[in-house]
Amino acid sequence: MRELMSLMLAAAILAAVACLVVISDRAESISVDEYISASRGEVKPVFDPRFPADPRSSRKLWEARKDSSADSEMEAPPENISEASAAPVVEEKAPNISGRLSFVLKDLTSKRLELQLYRLDDTLFGHGTISENSSTQQVSAVGDIMGNALELDLISEYTIYRLKIDSSKSPMTGTFTAYRADATSLPGVVYQEGAEGAGIA
């Protein structure tokens, strides 16, 4: 009986040793296989899902993001740009010049000009007198209104007075040149009566 128990115990010990040997061999075999696979590049790589798997995929992803960014920039309206409104065009009206007007002409002497003017659109015409001391001459008048400028020619028997008047001022002021029959000319200043010294150089 004692010998039988010894044999059974020995058999159990041998079985346990055999199991340990098998397990150790299996672990060593797996370790060697994995090493060989890794050395051949057969080990399955582990990828980070946040990044492309290879350079080609990375290039495609970069181009797609670039196109998407360009499209969004084209569609987005520019900031801080207000819609420019067209400025209203103010049409400059010609001044209302007509009726009886009195001027002073000053060159070497002073002359008084009395006019009766009529207006047709931007054209003026009329008649009047130029008085100097006790002498009075009849004159005809014709001219044009161009914005705030009045160009008026006065024609007497021997002289043409060419006036350029700024009608934006009140009283009106300007300059003139007298052209005489003897081919001489004389410049001067003109101002509406009551404007003497007002801006006249």
Note the pLDDT tens digit of each residue in 148-172: 899 999 999 899 999 999 988 888 9
Instruction: State which H helix or E strand residue 111 sits in.
Output: strand 110-120
Comparison of pLDDT for 22 and 188, the residue scoring more? 188
Q: How far is the C-alpha of 173 from the C-alpha of 105, rounded, in Å?
A: 10
Predicted local confidence at residue 95, as pLDDT = 55
Q: Which tokens sit at 26?
A: 């299996």
- CA distance to 23, 94, 111, 167, per residue, from 126 (Å): 134, 18, 19, 18
Predicted local confidence at residue 186, as pLDDT = 94
Predicted local confidence at residue 198, as pLDDT = 39
Q: What is the pTM of this model?
A: 0.50
